[in-house]
Amino acid sequence: MAWWTLAVLLLSLSIVCCAESIQEFTSSTLINNVVQDPLTGRIYVGAINAIYQLDSLLKQEKKVETGPKRDSRHCTPSIQSCHDAKMTDNTNKLLLVHPSNGSLIVCGSLFKGICSLRKLSSIDHLIYYNDSKGEKAYVVSSEETVSVVGVMSTFTKENDTFDVFVVGKGYGSQGNVKLISTPILQDFGNWDVFEDIVEAPAIPVTPFVKKYRHNFRYSFKESGFIYFLFTRTRGGLHNKNFTFISRLCEDDHHYYSYMELQLSCGPNNMYNKAQAAFVSSPGKELARNLSASGQYGQVRSQDKVLFVVSSTDEDKPRSGLCMYPLRYINQRIMEIISACYTKNGKIGNKVAVDSPYTTSYKCSADFLPSPLASTPGFALAAQAVHTTRDLLTAVAVAVEAERTVAFLGTSNGKVYHGTVLGSGLYLYSISMVPVEECDMMKDCKSCMDLKDPYCGWCALEGR
């Protein structure tokens, strides 16, 4: 995956300029993660063996080398006495801005996937790092192919509230099988920094690991819920991927509210494998078109919409962009939960809740041995509003003049430019960072012909 394309898309939304020169940052190794501090505009880039701190114009301020270091997946950190250790690359698995104490959460693949805290204003200042805490400090994964996403949150115990982050992690051949974990960000009582404070989560998936091999693509928070977007196969001989979104109440410290809903993109779920996603308000025009479609109910401009780019399972995959209003997602989730607890897992005499709850277990039981999930027949379907024969791996969305502008990145480093779509969604080209080329237009007609919501013509000034 061309992760640096994602960096370009994220930065393009924060730097709207008409400058002649194009700012650009290039890492010497593959980029895995990019985050931005919303307060300062600084950019943090997680790459193989390095973390970079950039200013808002992509100028490098700091660089920290995080590898290679002596390590072995078969040894418990600290690694000094490990005879199997050899020089190993460190793949950045997770970057999160921790604004309340001015730190950057950095998690890499070395030493079983432990994390560190670095100062946001100067990442070469290490706030916290400890490789001697054992298994309770393992947050991400030592395997490069295991995907990890996370989101900041808080945890309240009695009268104390403290910062945590909620992590979704796929399965590999090493480590534990926790699908979701909640590491703490400070020492509290018997808990150490980065220890998972949920000791017995209500998602005991050990018997179903083969079925629930999640490949996490995105996570976000909204209105008291935490959401995870991922793909997985159905296990056994079925290798086709399916896309799911899961929802968890943010204040549910045992994950009892965890629920998975399948998403379908394109005709007959043609674009079945989610690659990337972005959450944004739709703007008035797109909201009006989504409402008029009759598929999603009433969509307001202040609502949130999940934009997902997904691909086919082919060797040369095709891709599509689908949109799912969050209100529509929540409505379907509640329908599935209601079917489980009041209708024996059925809606209209059709099974709505996935196995094993309609076979070996009672759907409404207090103890659920596997995550509650919808069946394929009750997947939330959406039309593909844009398709391409390229592999789309990144999406970012902005609203300008009540119109929604999407930027789509491909696996070979291209950023899409496109045409006006009937849905009210617009695709435009950018050259790395700038999101418009308004200054190139020398008359009113050529400016208006762009149909670019970032551009306008001032008759008084003649530009």
Whether 70 is covered by a domain: the verdict is yes
Instruction: Indicate whether 14 pLDDT > 90.
Output: no
Q: What is the pLDDT of residue 107?
A: 96
Report which of 30, 104, 27, 111 is spatially closest to residue 69, judged by C-alpha positions.
Answer: 111
pLDDT: which is higher, 194 or 450: 194
The answer on pLDDT for 200 being more than 80 is: no
Share of the chain above pLDDT 70, in %: 77
Burial class (CB in 10 A: 0-12, 13-18, 19+), 200: exposed
């995105």: which residue's tokens?
A: 218
Query: Quick check: 463 pLDDT over 90?
Result: no
Give the separation between CA 342 and CA 346, rounded to whole angstroms. Answer: 9
Mean pLDDT over residues 212-235, rounded?
A: 88
111 in a structural domain: yes
Does residue 13 sit within a domain? yes
Residue bearing tokens 């899409």:
416
95/48 Cα distance (integer angstroms): 13
Q: How many helices (H) and strands (E) does the chain have?
A: 4, 28
Band of pLDDT at residue 433, cut at 50, 70 and 90:
very low
pLDDT at 225: 94
**Range with top average pLDDT, 175-179, 291-295, 399-403, 436-440:** 291-295
Q: What pLDDT is stored for residue 325 in this prediction?
A: 95
Q: Which residues contact 326 (CB under 8 A, 6 or more apart)?
A: 222, 279, 303, 304, 305, 306
pLDDT per residue as tens digits for the range 325-383:
999 999 999 998 888 888 888 898 898 887 655 555 555 555 555 678 888 899 999 99
Secondary structure letter of residue 459 according to DSSP:
T
Question: Is residue 96 assigned to a domain?
Answer: yes
User: What pLDDT score was predicted for residue 418?
Assistant: 57
Q: pLDDT tens for residues 230-261?
A: 998 766 566 788 999 999 899 887 888 888 89
Answer whether residue 8 shows pLDDT above 50: no
CATH code assigned at 66: 2.40.128
* Residue 122 placed within a domain: yes
pLDDT, tens only, 298-319: 899 899 999 999 999 888 899 9
Contact 309, 395 (CB under 8 A): yes
Q: Which of 2-16, 217-231, 255-269 has the highest mean pLDDT?
A: 217-231
User: What residues make up the domain containing 2?
Assistant: 1-146
Total tally of structural domains belonging to the chain: 1
Residue 434: pLDDT band by 50, 70, 90 thresholds? Answer: very low
Question: Is 115 a residue whose pLDDT tops 80?
Answer: yes
pLDDT tens figures, 92-110: 999 999 988 899 999 999 9
> Does residue 223 have a pLDDT over 60?
yes
Is position 46 within any domain? yes
Q: Which of 30-34, 184-188, 434-438, 455-459 has the lowest mean pLDDT?
A: 434-438
Exposed, middle or buried, 85 (CB in 10 Å: 0-12/13-18/19+)? middle
pLDDT in the model for residue 461: 52
**Mean of pLDDT values over 266-288:** 93
Name the one residue in this structure whose structure tokens are 């617009």: 426
Using 50, 70 and 90 to split pLDDT, how confident is the model at 114?
Answer: very high
Give pLDDT, residue 370.
Answer: 65
pLDDT over 80 (residue 458):
no
Q: Could you tell me if residue 138 is inside a domain?
A: yes
Q: Calculate the average pLDDT of the chain.
A: 82
Q: Tell me what percent of the residues of the chain surpass a pLDDT of 90.
A: 40
Q: How high is the pLDDT of residue 264?
A: 96
The pLDDT value given to residue 429: 42
**Each residue of 21-37: pLDDT tens digit?**
556 788 888 888 999 99
